[in-house]
Amino acid sequence: MREILVRPERCMGCRSCEIACAVEHSRSRDLFGALSEMPQRRLYVEHVPEYSLAVPILCRHCEDAPCVAVCPTGALTQDALTGVVRHNRDICIGCWTCASVCTYGVIGRDRRARVAIKCDRCPDLDVPACVNACPTRALIYGEVEELSEARRAASALKLARGVAASR
């Protein structure tokens, strides 16, 4: 299962991901067009002043997602194969139960249609727009196993460097 992994230690808060997301979900699919369409956010770079860190917060497409469980109309569904939580705007009644149970606070409200709006993991793209746009690779996209493998390799390298230096 492919996931978007966040590495907040790399995030510098440039918000390229937010802009790419807006462009991808605009009708015109270009920056100026997107801005004139008053885009709505589906992912959020949160600034944590206590730690002077920026942390990208986006839909985790949780396993057994709470938002899917509480949706009374079946507007939110989870793809069994990919794990992606999809939202069908046509049958959403705007009750905001999903938004109130989401532990990440990443379900927003479409101002015009008055229904929920959330990350769809860019169904038309191979790699989600936000991941593509991230200059520091704070967002990466891949199989969970691959991602952990990369993390293991990185810590092994760090340890090996330490050992080598002490020799």
Question: Are 101 and 127 spatial neighbours (Cβ–Cβ below 8 Å)?
Answer: no
Q: Residues 26 to 65: which contact another protein by CB under 8 A?
A: 44, 46-48, 50-51, 53, 55, 57, 64
Q: How many residues bind another protein (CB under 8 A)?
A: 40
Quick check: 164 binds another protein (CB under 8 A)?
Answer: no
Quick check: 8 binds another protein (CB under 8 A)?
Answer: yes
- Give the closest residue to 20 by CA, choosing from 43, 37, 47: 43
Identify the burial level of 54 via C-beta atoms within 10 angstroms of its C-beta, where 0-12 means exposed, 13-18 middle and 19 or more buried: middle
Q: From CA 53, how far away is CA 41, in angstroms rounded?
A: 20
Quick check: 147 binds another protein (CB under 8 A)?
Answer: no
Given 37, 83, 86, 97, the residue binding another protein (CB under 8 A):
97
Quick check: 12 binds another protein (CB under 8 A)?
Answer: no
Token digits for 163? Answer: 């050992």
- Signed CA dihedral, 47, 48, 54, 57: sign only: negative
Taking CB under 8 A as the binding criterion, the range among 19-27, 70-78, 129-137, 156-164 that sits at the site for another protein is 70-78
Q: Residues 101 to 130: which contact another protein by CB under 8 A?
A: 101-109, 114-115
Helix, strand, coil tally for the chain in percent (to 5):
35, 20, 45
- Residue numbers of the site for another protein (CB under 8 A)? 6, 8-9, 44, 46-48, 50-51, 53, 55, 57, 64, 66, 69-70, 72-74, 90-97, 99-109, 114-115
